[in-house]
């Protein structure tokens, strides 16, 4: 149930309708409250301020009609500008970044502002009564409609500025980089010196692991889709109730096929469809990957922009270098974080879940492999990759992490030497490679 709520919330966040729908509801409430206040002031004969609208019914209807008509026109312009921005983002930066633009709160608020102002004016117009028997002109409500129109004009000017900035490559790269760091901070909150209890993180006995591999029973997925969320607490509770040990055969980001094992349980036994339904309820599948629990996908968003920038049709190495810089910021932070143990225990210290935990070498490969492969003939990109590795190395302290950095540096060096014909360019790259090795050797001596 929890993972389904996460899935629905992600759908709401990446939709254009949620915030505008809330603002439309608020506009209806505001119109009702303003009209009621007008009735109260008219009944008690209160005096209005000088700037309050004091015209007749025809004038009030004309003012509100003009505002409502202009709001629909501006909403169409905003919608067109949004589609242009989405089209540019899709073609230049990659279609998988569209959900980042659709998640943009400012765009949703702007659309909601114009639609809400339009509906407010319509509601107030309907309350105007003409005639000598019981005339009613909501002066305060009309004044508030004029104020909303002025605010909407300011919102339009800001939106034009926002769109002009949001489609700039460096701005998009910076925003995706910040999102990546936010995901990293949420999934890896503990620094190396603040790691979990070693007793709980200790590996189980090798005999148990061999027995588990022989005897474990698989539980299969019931649908197709990308794995977006895993409710680990629900799995631990299920394992405690059934007295099981669960081994996850997948992690967020995997594409699941119906009938493919989600996990294996030990000890094996005759468990019916109800147990399989409970297991599947702890997994949320969708049509696309999301960065909420999938740190690899958060890296791939920057990688996709860099690879597209290096393609012959775009040929923009500066954007690729900006992506490399943002990836390096995330990897520098990741190198200082404690990697979560794959072994999850219950409150009594009993092993219940064996998960597939991410590692720094895997994230390093996710961030650099494709950029290295597509940018091997571009000297500037190769040198920046090598310089970035030198920076990341100063943050890496685990031997496996330093070995992965050296391996990546050697692959960059070999690829560039095969693709770069100019000797001076090779020397520049070799100098950067020696800097990486020097930092690595210094860190080894310190340890």
Tell whether omega for the bond before 267 is within 30 degrees of 0, i.e. cis.
yes
Say if residue 23's pLDDT is above 50. Answer: yes
Q: Supply the pLDDT for residue 423.
A: 84
Say if residue 224's pLDDT is above 60. Answer: yes
Chain segment 229-260, per-residue pLDDT in tens: 898 888 999 999 888 999 998 889 899 999 89
Mutual orientation of helices 232-242 and 2-13 as an angle, nearest 10°?
Answer: 170
Q: Are residues 89 and 224 in the same domain?
A: no
Chain segment 40-66, per-residue pLDDT in tens: 876 555 545 545 777 788 888 999 999
Residue 256 lies in a domain: yes
Q: Are residues 162 and 22 in the same domain?
A: yes
Residue 329 exposed, middle or buried by CB count within 10 Å (0-12, 13-18, 19+): middle
Tokens 């769109």 correspond to what residue?
163
Tokens 């909303």 correspond to what residue?
148
CA–CA distances in Å: residue 197 to residues 201, 336, 338: 6, 17, 12
Give the count of domains, the chain: 3
Residue 350 lies in a domain: no
Rg over alpha carbons for the chain, rounded to the nearest Å, is 29
Mutual orientation of helices 379-393 and 399-419 as an angle, nearest 10°?
Answer: 170
Q: What three-state secondary structure class fits 196?
A: coil
Q: Are residues 79 and 220 in the same domain?
A: no
Residue 161 exposed, middle or buried by CB count within 10 Å (0-12, 13-18, 19+): exposed
- Give yes or no for a contact between 166 and 172, defined as CB atoms under 8 angstroms apart: yes
Cα separation, 87 vs 307, whole angstroms: 18
Residue 352 lies in a domain: no
Q: Are residues 377 and 410 in the same domain?
A: yes
Q: Supply the pLDDT for residue 445.
A: 54
Q: Supply the pLDDT for residue 31.
A: 94
Residue 63 lies in a domain: yes
Q: Are residues 28 and 116 in the same domain?
A: yes
Q: Supply the pLDDT for residue 101.
A: 74
Q: Supply the pLDDT for residue 298.
A: 86
CATH number at residue 239: 3.90.1170.30
Q: Are residues 282 and 300 in the same domain?
A: no
- Give yes or no for a contact between 91 and 304, defined as CB atoms under 8 angstroms apart: no
Chain segment 130-177, per-residue pLDDT in tens: 866 678 888 889 999 999 999 999 999 999 888 888 878 888 899 889
Cα separation, 320 vs 310, whole angstroms: 7
Q: Are residues 146 and 19 in the same domain?
A: yes
| Residue 235: closest CA among 199, 262, 205 | 262
Residue 368 lies in a domain: yes
Q: Are residues 311 and 430 in the same domain?
A: yes
Q: Supply the pLDDT for residue 419.
A: 82
Q: Are residues 10 and 152 in the same domain?
A: yes
* DSSP class of 377: T
Last residue within a domain, chosen from 167, 187, 206: 167
Q: Which residues are within 8 A (CB) of 298 and not within 5 positions of it... i.e. 6 or more apart?
A: 179, 180, 183, 184, 291, 330
Residue 34 lies in a domain: yes
Q: Are residues 418 and 374 in the same domain?
A: yes
Q: Are residues 148 and 257 in the same domain?
A: no
Mode of pairing for the β-strands spanning 283-286 and 225-230: antiparallel
> Which residues pair with residue 191 across a beta bridge?
337
Say if residue 196's pLDDT is above 50. Answer: no
Q: Are residues 397 and 270 in the same domain?
A: no
Identify which has the larger pLDDT, 317 or 168: 317
Q: Which domain holds residue 46?
A: 2-167
Residue 174 lies in a domain: no
Please, what is the average pLDDT of the chain? Answer: 85
Say if residue 370's pLDDT is above 90. Answer: yes
Residue 375 lies in a domain: yes
Q: Which residues are within 8 A (CB) of 123 and not within 5 positions of it... i.e. 6 or more apart?
A: 27, 28, 31, 32, 35
């Amino acid at each position: 149930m929890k993972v389904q709520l996460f899935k629905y919330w992600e759908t709401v966040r990446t939709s254009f309708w949620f915030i505008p729908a809330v603002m439309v509801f608020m506009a209806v409430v505001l119109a009702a409250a303003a009209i009621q206040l007008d009735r109260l002031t008219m009944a008690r004969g209160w005096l209005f301020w000088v700037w309050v609208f004091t015209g007749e019914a025809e004038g009030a209807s004309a003012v509100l009609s003009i505002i409502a008509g202009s709001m629909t026109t501006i909403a169409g312009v905003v919608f067109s500008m949004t589609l242009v921005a989405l089209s540019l983002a899709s073609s230049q930066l990659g279609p998988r970044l569209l959900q980042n633009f659709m998640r943009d709160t400012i765009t949703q608020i702007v659309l909601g502002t114009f639609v809400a102002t339009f509906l407010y004016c319509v509601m107030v117009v309907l309350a105007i009564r003409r005639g000598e028997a019981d005339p009613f002109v909501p002066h305060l409500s009309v004044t508030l409609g004029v104020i909303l129109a002025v605010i909407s004009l300011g919102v339009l000017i800001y939106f034009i500025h926002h769109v002009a900035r949001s489609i700039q490559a460096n701005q998009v790269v910076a925003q995706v980089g910040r999102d990546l760091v936010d995901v990293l901070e949420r999934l890896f909150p503990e620094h190396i010196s603040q790691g979990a209890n070693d007793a709980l993180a200790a590996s189980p006995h090798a005999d148990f692991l061999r027995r588990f591999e022989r005897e474990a029973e698989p539980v299969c997925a019931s649908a197709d889709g990308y794995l977006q969320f895993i409710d680990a607490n629900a799995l631990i509770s299920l394992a405690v109730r059934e007295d099981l040990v669960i081994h996850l055969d997948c992690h967020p980001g995997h594409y699941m096929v119906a009938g493919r094992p989600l996990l294996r349980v030990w000890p094996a036994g005759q468990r019916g469809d109800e147990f399989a339904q409970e297991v599947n309820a702890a997994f949320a599948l969708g049509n696309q990957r999301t960065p909420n629990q999938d740190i690899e996908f958060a890296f791939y968003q920057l990688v996709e922009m860099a690879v597209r920038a290096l393609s012959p049709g775009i040929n923009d190495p500066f954007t690729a270098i900006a992506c490399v810089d943002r990836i390096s910021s995330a990897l520098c932070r990741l190198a200082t974080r404690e990697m979560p143990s794959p072994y999850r225990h219950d409150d009594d210290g009993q092993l219940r879940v064996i998960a597939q935990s991410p590692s720094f070498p895997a994230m390093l490969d996710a961030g650099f492999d494709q950029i290295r492969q597509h940018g091997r003939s571009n000297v500037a990109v190769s040198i920046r990759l090598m310089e970035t590795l030198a920076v990341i190395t100063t943050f890496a302290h685990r031997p496996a992490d330093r070995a992965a950095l050296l391996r990546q540096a050697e692959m960059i060096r070999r690829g560039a030497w095969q693709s770069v014909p100019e000797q001076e360019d090779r020397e520049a790259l070799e100098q950067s490679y020696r800097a990486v090795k020097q930092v690595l050797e210094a860190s080894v001596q310190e340890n």
